[in-house]
Structure 1
Amino acid sequence: MRITPADLALAEQLADAAGAAIRPFFRAPHGLETKADHSPVTHADRDAEAAMRRLIEATFPDDAIIGEEYGPREGTSGRAWVLDPVDGTRAFVSGRPIFGTLIALVVEGWPMLGIIDQPILKERWLGVIGKPTLFNGAPAKTRICPALAGAALATTSPHAFDEHQADHFLALVRATSGGNPGQGPIYGGDCYNYGCLASGDLDIVVEAGLKIHDFAALVPVVEGAGGRMCDWQGDPLTADSEGEVIAAGDPARLEEIIEALACHGH
């Protein structure tokens, strides 16, 4: 199944609609609540997802929808629109414009189209498997990373790792810092880190505990810019992945990243 012009047009419309719903609540009263899983949610999350779902239901009524806020809607087409209206709600409620809206089209379990949209800065990465990633309409390209030592490594929060995962992440931190304590990882950023990686401003992003709505949109964006995404074992990311994620801007470093993550910290 290929991505059609109608799919692309809808994906852009979804991002526009989400941004229009989110902007009025940024650095304004946003109705913050805590969900049953202890994660935060605001009016922006709910209004943006509701706006996107209405457009999908009107345009492709046979497609499934998997949304963070309103759950799954079954479909019959083998396609699913995967939505995270505000990826990085903590950044959003802190007034930091490093959150994003994530929109993916997953076909038979494989992410085929992805958008990372930052509605405050008006920055949008659009990725389609097999095509160059676009950043605000111009090609985005990852950068060459000549060695693991000195690579710019990012993750949203060290607290997102369990104790076992944290040991492995710290082994990668040691490999990238080359023993230089000033060369630690960059924290914060959520999906925005993956956009920065696709544009050649970061080298590696490693996370754990992600759900499909957190990572499906990232895969086409990173890979269309020349990078690679996989799980911590090196396997491709699909609807069945566990949520341990690697994004490497330079695929030449991927094996070293996986090896470093396989080492326990001491």
Structure 2
Amino acid sequence: MSQNAPDYAALEAFALELSAAAASAALPLFRLRDLSEINKGNASRADVDFDPVTEADKGAERAIRALINARYPEHGIIGEEYGSENTDADYIWVLDPVDGTRAFISGLPLWTTLIGLRYQGRPVLGVIAQPVLEEVYIGSPLGSRLITPKGSTPLAVRACSGLADAVIGTTDPHLYTGAEVEAYARLRTTAKLVRYGCDAYAFAMVAAGTMDIALETGLKPWDIEAIIPVIENAGGVVTNWHGQPVGPEAGQVLAAGSQALIDEALTHLRVAAD
């Protein structure tokens, strides 16, 4: 194991390079009318399990991996499209080159590139990038901030008195199954406002203080590990539906602007926790 503390300034700068490289690969394909996709999901339940992958996903991940392998060949990588390498390393990059591919192929600018970094097994740095909007949300022990062409702005979650005043987001309520359906319905009817279809962008809005809760089920590590440092270093909390830290298998995830809001949401969700 490495005895040197992470150089977060250097790692943040490199993560921003990775984000720019991914954007260069994906943006030329956004709203391309003849862009083809492959369904990785269950074809018999396409309305729910349509899980597309495009050349934007693949090209963006190839670009990120090439830079990591050139700059930090000793680092590990876990990526949605091209698998894992060197996973016993102290530093492991966890990549979702296009989170929200459904939005991407629909021409909606709510997809993101997620770039996370584990250090000794713990997510410590994350980037949520939306290149169409020219927004990069980045978080590490140095703090969380939003970077745009206009400059850098600190991120901070907002105060929320409780679920009755909360704006919550989830990608699609039809993704919930079994006991999750009723648990989510109880949460939804308690909240002030619910928005759908934002994928990881909803979590960025929790960090930015425009939404209060984001939740999902069935997540993979690359869907959430970049998000955790952004929200936590903006003052928020990320747990599983048991109220525990999100583990390496991800799964059911809940993020909110405060522990009190997490606790209130869990009164509805914990019964369906797996």
Structure 1 length-normalised TM: 0.91
Over 4 Å off, 4+ runs: none
How many angstroms does 1:75 deviate by? 4.4
Contact 1:99 1:189 in 2 (8 A): yes
Which residue is 1:35 aligned to?
40
From 25, 28, 41, the counterpart of 2:29: 25
From 104, 107, 117, the counterpart of 1:95: 107
Deviations 1:201-255 (A, max 9, x none): 10101110000000000000011111110101111123244x1000102333121
Contact 1:142 1:225 in 2 (8 A): yes
Contact 2:92 2:118 in 1 (8 A): yes
1:245 paired to 2:253:
yes
Which residue is 2:264 aligned to?
256
Structure 2 length-normalised TM: 0.89
Which residue is 2:46 aligned to?
none
Which residue is 2:59 aligned to?
47
Alignment partners' CA distance in 2, 1:237 and 1:110: 10
Unaligned stretches of 5+ residues in structure 2: 43-49
Which residue is 1:235 aligned to?
244
Code of the residue aligned with 1:146 in structure 2: it is: S
Give aligned-pair identity as a percent. 40
Give aligned pairs, total. 256
Contact 1:92 1:98 in 2 (8 A): yes
Contact 2:8 2:142 in 1 (8 A): no
Unaligned stretches of 5+ residues in structure 1: 178-182
CA RMSD of aligned residues (A): 1.6
Structure having the higher strand fraction is: 2
How many angstroms does 1:127 deviate by? 0.4
Where does 1:136-215 land on structure 2 (aligned, <5 Å)? 136=147, 137-177=152-192, 183=193, 185-215=194-224
Contact 2:40 2:53 in 1 (8 A): yes
